[in-house]
Amino acid sequence: MKTIAIRTLTAAAFSCLLLSTMPAIAHHSFSAEFDAALSGTFTGVVTEVRFSNPHVRYRIDAKMPDGSIENWEVQAGSVTSLRPQGWVADSVKVGDTVTVEGQLGRNDAKKVFVRGITLASGKRFGGTEGNNSNTARAAAPNDRTTVTADPNKDYGYGKQNAAAPFDISGAWRQGYKFRVTVDDLEPKPTPFTEEGKRLREANTKYDDPALRCIALGLPRIFGNPYNLDIHDAGNHYLFTYVEHNSPRRIWMDGRTAPENTAPSSNGFSVGHWEDSNTLVIETTHLAAGWLDGSGLPMSGEGTRTVERITFTADHLSADRTMTIYDPLYTQPLLRTRGWARGDTVDVSEQDSCDPASYYSDIKEAGLLDKYLAP
């Protein structure tokens, strides 16, 4: 990798450096926008955050040698690749002073593909090991190193959970005992806190994550009618929902969430069999969102759900309840549904979601600037 001098105007704001351990990621647009051979670093103040796929983007004000301010675009990897590092939506906020390292835009463009970002507190995200899942593969695409299993570790794959009273693997219909996931939570009237009521009254239909093709996750996916497939992997169940082709793991080996587990749409789930017919699942580390289609707010960080799935004696159907504990409500909320097996359960891949109609609607409503604002 070569080092190239930055244009004179920004020479003091950027110091060129070699990131020799940073291979260029394999991405369809990277080489068109950025020069993999030219790297730099600068410090500035965050003015905009867009934490969304396909690339997370920031706008950062940097002070130039003549005292002027230049606004630079900083691109990072996808949300999918950043979250496992604990790099989440509020990790870098508007107003934060940050130091950015990365590869610079072509043709003197004021943009950087970030390889590392450090807050004023010293906390760092990314680094020389890369912030994209493709980086490791690019570093050693022909690696033939033998992987040896740890003989003292129970990987759990390829066998049924020994504690399970019966095998629940296979396809299940969530449309059994279905009711629309709008205003379906008990008790009524909804037991809001003052903050919960304020947030509910502020929500409009355009705030619904579903309209923007964002994966609904829990607790809404519990109530939706789309089918799912269950695989018993020994130390966990893998639930694969048709909706948003969404995977979810329910750990059955007593583990707890790792430190710095990032919030996500399906959270972190642990389960146990309470008796020969009832599976209990507790979920934490959920991303903030809506509890239903009417706009009932969910705090995310403080939300905890407990599912009880009670199977019939023939194991062909089940009654399900979900209790939702959230600090925006003065009492737990309850949702009830069912499951049923069937001979023709469709668990094929869901068609991709296109948010074009959502943006057409907000444009017609004169709200485009509001909902595109950071």
Q: Where are the domains of the chain?
A: 8-139, 170-348+358-372
3-state secondary structure of 373: coil
What's residue 20's pLDDT?
32
Which residue positions in the chain have pLDDT lower than 70? 1-30, 127-151, 153-159, 343-350, 373-374
pTM for the predicted model, two decimal places: 0.69
pLDDT value at residue 242? 85
State the Cα torsion 83-85-89-94 to the nearest 10°: -160
pLDDT at 88: 85
Q: Check residue 260 and give its pLDDT.
A: 82
> What local confidence, expressed as pLDDT, does residue 155 receive?
57
DSSP 362: H
One DSSP character per residue, 7-64 reads PGGGTTT------TT-PPP--TTHHHHEEEEEEEEEEEEEEEEE--SS--EEEEEEE-
145: which DSSP letter?
P
The pLDDT, as a whole number, for residue 159 is 64
Q: What is the largest CA-CA distance in the chain?
A: 78
Domain 8-139, second-level architecture: Beta Barrel (2.40)
Cα–Cα distance, 286 to 184 (Å, whole number): 20
Residue located via tokens 């807050």: 119
Provide the sign of the torsion angle of the four alpha carbons 8, 10, 16, 21, taken in this order: negative
CA distance 200 to 9: 49
Core vs surface per residue 206-241: b (16+ CB within 10 A) or e? eebbbbeebbbbbbbbbbbebbbebebbbbbbebbb
pLDDT (0 to 100) of residue 156:
56
How far are the Cα atoms of 229, 235, 239 from residue 232, in angstroms, in the given order? 10, 8, 9
Q: Specify the pLDDT at position 154.
A: 60
Quickly count: other Cβ atoms within 10 Å of residue 118's Cβ: 18
Distance CA 87, CA 93 (A): 12
Supply the pLDDT for residue 22.
36
pLDDT at 128: 41
